[in-house]
A and B are shown apart, each in its own frame.
Chain A
Amino acid sequence: MSAKTGHVVGVNGNLVNVQFDDSVIKNEVGYILVGETRLKGEVIRITDGIASLQVYEMTEGISVGDKVEFSGELLSVELGPGLLTQVFDGLQNPLPELAEKCGFFLQRGVYLDPIPNMEWEFTPTKKVGDVVEAGDSFGSVPEGIFTHKIMVPFTLQGSWKIRSIREKGKYKSHDVICQIENEKKEVRDLTMIITQPVKRAIKGYEERLRPDEPMVTKIRIIDTFLPVAKGGTYCTPGPFGAGKTVLQHLTSRNADVDIVIIAACGERAGEVVEILKEFPELIDPKTGRSLMERTIIICNTSSMPVAAREASVYTAVTMAEYYRNMGLDVLLLADSTSRWAQAMREMSGRLEEIPGDEAFPAYLESRIAEFYERAGKVRLKDGSIGSVTIGGTVSPAGGNFEEPVTQATLKVVGAFHGLSRERSDARKYPAIDPLDSWSNYSGIIDKSAVDKVYAYIRKSNEVSQMMKVVGEEGTSLDDYISYQKGDLIDYVYLQQNSFDPVDFAASVTRQNDSFSLLSDIVLSDYNLKDKRDARQFFNEVRQLFLDFNAVAENSDEYEKRKKMLIAKVEERKR
């Protein structure tokens, strides 16, 4: 492909207008040549013979007349073995390697190979003469604990016949290991690495399935009351300081999936550093290996260029889809989608588009919907099942959920975990509001049993609202007991201490056990003389339950505490 070129005619912030000589493709990547440096950009609009590029770097020093080279390719990522454990920026630049090359600072215009050219043990699964299509696997390599399938690029059209394929053995990721040919006698060389445009969803599966299997997070309030399904979507909006990021960290550690992709999109760099330093030390209980081995981090923090922030969520979801097509369960955590939406708003403003609500562009909703729709559970051609689950945090301006990004997100997700300032101020963590939040998925515990307990949370809230007006004196004993029951549920079940070595993760069996205890306590009637008696009784029950929460499963102590708790409750049952 001959390089098409153009030259700069205007600069406005990170938007650069380019007069092109020949033809351009919308969303193709172009490079602006500033002296020795090549600055990457993407064509986002073409009007009157002028292509507008959003530039993924700082635009200082660009001048009118600077040469621009168009690549003819859409903004893409490279996919292949070696992605896991890596830390990339929004454009898939490996950050540690970049640091080795450029030192402390992110030098603009430096683009490194995202996937190191390492040697892998390749095992072919197809032979010469076999017919393959886009997304079909023709071999595999072991990547850590996973069998990494090597696939035919998803962008190929039609059927192709394998002309030659390498035998089992060690090859480098950029070596040609397979040659395919189509009816028109076009020949393609395939390596272990494929290039995929990020804004186009990866297909190559047989059919999409309904997400019906819970994704366990070991957080009680989520798994029991507000479950998330494998292949589902959920969002976590909350004001600053409500613990969105802590919740996502916990999820990324404990989630019962194969691979976790963390997209730190426009948030604090310090938080990414915590993951970077913590994860390699933490052991994944499922595999016994370091958590880093199942993790990819895409990190485009708040001070990095805005346009790359927009790209980073697409980069992340494309990688997630790629691993899904190997029959793996992938969880993508995006923190925060509001920053991504703001990046769109900045671009839209520079393009002088007619603004919508709070100056967000009119296409905000469709873009958000498009992104979340890339989640899903699929059956692959070989019958195996893979899934992409997307969890996005939202940072609403002023903590007000009425704003456009939260509202657009709520329309398309399957579960809503709203964090409340009130709960976080009261140090009730996780600060998910049990009354406002909802989930359309089924969890690890039967829905009807959960609903009965849920009713007490609502009832308790009503009574406590009433008590603020009429005081404790004006409340009936029955109401007061309902209030105490709701309070108990909150303290011993909804709240969970993320710093406690035992309490921070509650397994499925443990949640089942605790929940049946709790629902028995909540649904029973008691002989309680008066409110003071009731308060005292529930205080004692609460203390015993908290003690029970603090001991490890499968220990003598566990059974002992459980018995003490049951004995206490039985004492007063009517």
Chain B
Amino acid sequence: MQKVYTKIESIVGNVITVRAEGVKNSDLAEISSSTGVSLARVIKLDHDLVSLEVFSGAQGVSTGDSVRFLGYPMRVSFSDNLLGRIFDGAGRARDNGPELRENMINIGGPSVNPSKRIMAKNMIRTGIPMIDMFNSLVESQKLPIFSVSGEPYNQLLARIAMQADVDIIILGGMGLKYDDYLYFKDTLEKSGALSHTIMFVHTASDPTVECTLVPDLSLAVAEQFALQGKKVLVLLTDMTNFCDALKETAITMEQVPSNRGYPGDLYSALASRYEKAVDFEGAGSVTILAVTTMPGDDVTHPVPDNTGYITEGQYYLRNGWIEPFGSLSRLKQNVNKDTRDDHRALMDGMIKLYSAYKESLEKKSMGFMMSDWDEKLLKYGALFESRLMDLSVNIPLEEALDEGWRILSECFEPNETLLRSDLIEKYWPK
């Protein structure tokens, strides 16, 4: 069906309406206007009235422009040729490389059958002690990084992209500042990680509709690689921009908003993306790490709130480091029993001491007398923050554990740590 329609009935926001017949829901169309050719997607059918959202925005579209329906839904090419490439939100090459057209796959495919899932059991090492040691990232996990504007979340993601021990990294950027895009590109290029990375980047200056496609493109490709047995890590930044783009379309379509203007299906929209994280029995896995900036540092804002109900824990990135409190990887229990025998005990023990340090710090700021014990805690806190929490620290898990023991031994007597005697016997630096 290659019929061309030239009667556009209405143009509202990025949604145009055209009279056409035989059109299928979710199909793509091509709109040729004075500003160029753009793709559009069918989002509503009402008798012969077809509503389409125009990927590159409806600005400059004339009522007399021609609309050609392509007869297939949004697709993306899938092959090993994608590796090292950079695309935009509509799947076009962004890196001056050739456009890829072979082996097109549909995006936003069906959900995985729950009875075919398996329990997550493999850790993904990142070389960041606050993750590996205290809140291990687990294959097939979906975790958001809750942060606020101005925090170095993109730097964190770039580091994880360089260091995580996975086969393929897929980076989905939504509403990225151009500088941040260049930062990702340069950092990954320099480190050599770009060769096993695929980037789908929508920058802040690109049309909004393309922003909503980035997670689906990234995850569709990730899923295919996982089915081929690859261990895929999908990094998304920033999901709040994605939700805002959804909000924009919903409002244009005159949908009844539910909470702060977000559409009622926000939870389902987020869930259908996050639930793509999976460990396939007998094949690979998809793990999702997604930055979600909290407007006004408010975790009850609809975006972080709905995200929290979907994901398996969260990292809080505040004041330049990953908060030990509040951050939680729900699946860490599945993996940290098999790393080293002191992992769990040291993790709990050090966090308890760090929380005691926080109390001492509070006491100090209120002008109370500092006891010997308080002094010890203050020293411990400072060492803990500079030698383990600092995001520039880059050591494998085993070294981080050893470092933990060293810090403890510099501050405390063995019996003050409340750790098991057999572990102290084995690991306390002599």
Using a CB–CB cutoff of 8 Å, the interface residues on chain A facing chain B are 8-13, 17, 58-65, 87, 95-96, 98-99, 102-108, 239-241, 266, 268-270, 272-274, 276-277, 299, 301-304, 306, 339, 342, 345-346, 348-349, 352, 355, 358-360, 395, 397-400, 425
Bound Cα distance A359, B265 (Å): 11
- Taking the closest CB of chain A, its distance from the CB of B358, in whole angstroms, is 13
Across the interface, B114 reaches (CB within 8 A) one of A102, A276, A355, namely A276
The 10 A-B residue pairs with the shortest CB-CB distance in the complex, in nearest-first order: A398-B300, A302-B271, A303-B275, A359-B258, A240-B308, A11-B45, A60-B26, A303-B111, A10-B46, A95-B115
> If the complex has contacts A58-B110, A241-B328, are A99 and B115 also in contact, measured as CB distance less than 8 A?
yes
Bound Cα distance A249, B256 (Å): 36
Residues of A close to B118: CB separation below 8 A:
273, 277
Which of B17-25, B153-161, B207-215 contacts its partner?
B17-25
- Taking the closest CB of chain B, its distance from the CB of A306, in whole angstroms, is 5
Across the interface, A105 reaches (CB within 8 A) one of B111, B264, B302, namely B111
Bound Cα distance A59, B301 (Å): 30
Tally of contacts, chain A with chain B, CB under 8 A: 170
Task: State whether A342 touches B112 (Cβ < 8 A).
Answer: no
Measured CB to CB, the nearest residue on chain B to A396 is B305
**Is B343's CB within 8 Å of the partner chain A?**
no
15 pairs from A and B in contact (CB 8 Å cutoff): A61-B25, A62-B25, A64-B47, A99-B113, A102-B113, A108-B110, A269-B111, A273-B118, A302-B271, A306-B268, A342-B264, A349-B255, A358-B258, A359-B258, A397-B306
Bound Cα distance A360, B258 (Å): 8
Task: State whether A60 touches B25 (Cβ < 8 A).
Answer: yes
> If the complex has contacts A61-B26, A266-B271, are A240 and B300 also in contact, measured as CB distance less than 8 A?
no
Residues of B close to A270: CB separation below 8 A:
117, 120, 140, 312, 331
Measured CB to CB, the nearest residue on chain B to A351 is B256
> If the complex has contacts A61-B26, A358-B258, are A269 and B268 also in contact, measured as CB distance less than 8 A?
no
Task: State whether A268 touches B275 (Cβ < 8 A).
Answer: yes
- Taking the closest CB of chain B, its distance from the CB of A514, in whole angstroms, is 27
Residues of B close to A99: CB separation below 8 A:
113, 115-116
Task: State whether B113 touches A106 (Cβ < 8 A).
Answer: yes
Residues of A close to B181: CB separation below 8 A:
none
- Encoded as 1 (CB less than 8 Å from any A CB) or 0, chain B from 79 to 90 comes to 000000000000
**Is B272's CB within 8 Å of the partner chain A?**
yes
Across the interface, A359 reaches (CB within 8 A) one of B264, B310, B328, namely B264
Task: State whether B48 touches A397 (Cβ < 8 A).
Answer: no
Residues of A close to B64: CB separation below 8 A:
none
Residues of B close to A87: CB separation below 8 A:
114-115
- Taking the closest CB of chain B, its distance from the CB of A44, in whole angstroms, is 16
- Taking the closest CB of chain A, its distance from the CB of B231, in whole angstroms, is 16
Residues of A close to B26: CB separation below 8 A:
59-61
- B299-316, CB < 8 A from A: 300-302, 305-306, 308-310, 312-313
Residues of A close to B306: CB separation below 8 A:
397
Residues of B close to A303: CB separation below 8 A:
111-112, 271-272, 274-276
> If the complex has contacts A12-B46, A273-B118, A359-B264, are A395 and B113 also in contact, measured as CB distance less than 8 A?
no
- Taking the closest CB of chain A, its distance from the CB of B124, in whole angstroms, is 16
Residues of A close to B73: CB separation below 8 A:
60-61
> If the complex has contacts A106-B113, A270-B120, A299-B114, are A359 and B257 also in contact, measured as CB distance less than 8 A?
yes
Measured CB to CB, the nearest residue on chain A to B301 is A398
- Taking the closest CB of chain B, its distance from the CB of A32, in whole angstroms, is 11
Bound Cα distance A98, B118 (Å): 16
Residues of A close to B46: CB separation below 8 A:
9-10, 12, 17
- Taking the closest CB of chain A, its distance from the CB of B426, in whole angstroms, is 24
Task: State whether A269 touches B114 (Cβ < 8 A).
Answer: yes
Bound Cα distance A272, B113 (Å): 11
Q: How large is the interface on B (under 10, 10 to 19, 20 to 34, 35 or more residues)?
A: 35 or more
Q: Which of B113, B118, B300 has the most A CB atoms < 10 Å from its CB?
A: B113
Task: State whether A63 touches B47 (Cβ < 8 A).
Answer: no
Bound Cα distance A102, B110 (Å): 11
Task: State whether A65 touches B22 (Cβ < 8 A).
Answer: yes
- Taking the closest CB of chain A, its distance from the CB of B1, in whole angstroms, is 10
Task: State whether A64 touches B256 (Cβ < 8 A).
Answer: no
Measured CB to CB, the nearest residue on chain A to B271 is A302
- Taking the closest CB of chain B, its distance from the CB of A400, in whole angstroms, is 7
Bound Cα distance A240, B311 (Å): 9
Residues of B close to A360: CB separation below 8 A:
258
Task: State whether A107 touches B115 (Cβ < 8 A).
Answer: no
- B205-264, CB < 8 A from A: 227, 255-259, 263-264
**Is B44's CB within 8 Å of the partner chain A?**
yes
Across the interface, B112 reaches (CB within 8 A) one of A65, A105, A239, namely A105
Task: State whether B114 touches A397 (Cβ < 8 A).
Answer: no
Bound Cα distance A28, B373 (Å): 72
Task: State whether B111 touches A59 (Cβ < 8 A).
Answer: no
Measured CB to CB, the nearest residue on chain B to A104 is B116
Across the interface, A64 reaches (CB within 8 A) one of B45, B274, B300, namely B45
Q: Which of B114, B119, B275 has the most A CB atoms < 10 Å from its CB?
A: B114
Task: State whether A105 touches B113 (Cβ < 8 A).
Answer: yes
- Taking the closest CB of chain B, its distance from the CB of A171, in whole angstroms, is 29
Task: State whether B312 touches A64 (Cβ < 8 A).
Answer: no
Residues of B close to A241: CB separation below 8 A:
308, 313, 328
Task: State whether B114 touches A349 (Cβ < 8 A).
Answer: no
Task: State whether A106 touches B112 (Cβ < 8 A).
Answer: yes
- Taking the closest CB of chain B, its distance from the CB of A264, in whole angstroms, is 8
Bound Cα distance A266, B265 (Å): 12
Across the interface, B22 reaches (CB within 8 A) one of A10, A63, A395, A397, namely A63
Bound Cα distance A348, B302 (Å): 20
Bound Cα distance A106, B48 (Å): 31
Task: State whether A302 touches B21 (Cβ < 8 A).
Answer: no
Residues of A close to B428: CB separation below 8 A:
none
Bound Cα distance A178, B44 (Å): 50
**Is B321's CB within 8 Å of the partner chain A?**
no
Bound Cα distance A289, B293 (Å): 48
**Is B109's CB within 8 Å of the partner chain A?**
yes
Bound Cα distance A241, B276 (Å): 21
Bound Cα distance A349, B301 (Å): 21
Bound Cα distance A63, B47 (Å): 10
Task: State whether A277 touches B275 (Cβ < 8 A).
Answer: no
Bound Cα distance A544, B430 (Å): 35
Residues of A close to B310: CB separation below 8 A:
268, 302
Measured CB to CB, the nearest residue on chain B to A355 is B256
**Is B184's CB within 8 Å of the partner chain A?**
no
Task: State whether A64 touches B21 (Cβ < 8 A).
Answer: yes
> If the complex has contacts A303-B111, A359-B264, are A349 and B25 also in contact, measured as CB distance less than 8 A?
no
Bound Cα distance A468, B46 (Å): 62
Bound Cα distance A150, B313 (Å): 46
- Taking the closest CB of chain A, its distance from the CB of B350, in whole angstroms, is 16
Residues of B close to A299: CB separation below 8 A:
114
Bound Cα distance A352, B264 (Å): 12
Task: State whether A346 touches B120 (Cβ < 8 A).
Answer: no
Bound Cα distance A346, B272 (Å): 15
Bound Cα distance A349, B253 (Å): 11
Task: State whether B328 touches A302 (Cβ < 8 A).
Answer: no
Measured CB to CB, the nearest residue on chain A to B272 is A303
Residues of A close to B331: CB separation below 8 A:
270
> If the complex has contacts A106-B111, A270-B120, A302-B267, are A9 and B44 also in contact, measured as CB distance less than 8 A?
no
Measured CB to CB, the nearest residue on chain B to A400 is B300
Task: State whether A64 touches B113 (Cβ < 8 A).
Answer: no
Bound Cα distance A303, B113 (Å): 10
Task: State whether B114 touches A273 (Cβ < 8 A).
Answer: yes
Bound Cα distance A276, B280 (Å): 16
Measured CB to CB, the nearest residue on chain A to B282 is A104
Bound Cα distance A399, B300 (Å): 7
Bound Cα distance A355, B264 (Å): 11
Bound Cα distance A102, B25 (Å): 24
Measured CB to CB, the nearest residue on chain B to A65 is B22
- B266-300, CB < 8 A from A: 267-268, 271-272, 274-276, 280, 300
Bound Cα distance A397, B309 (Å): 9
Bound Cα distance A95, B264 (Å): 28
Bound Cα distance A55, B45 (Å): 15
- Taking the closest CB of chain A, its distance from the CB of B314, in whole angstroms, is 8
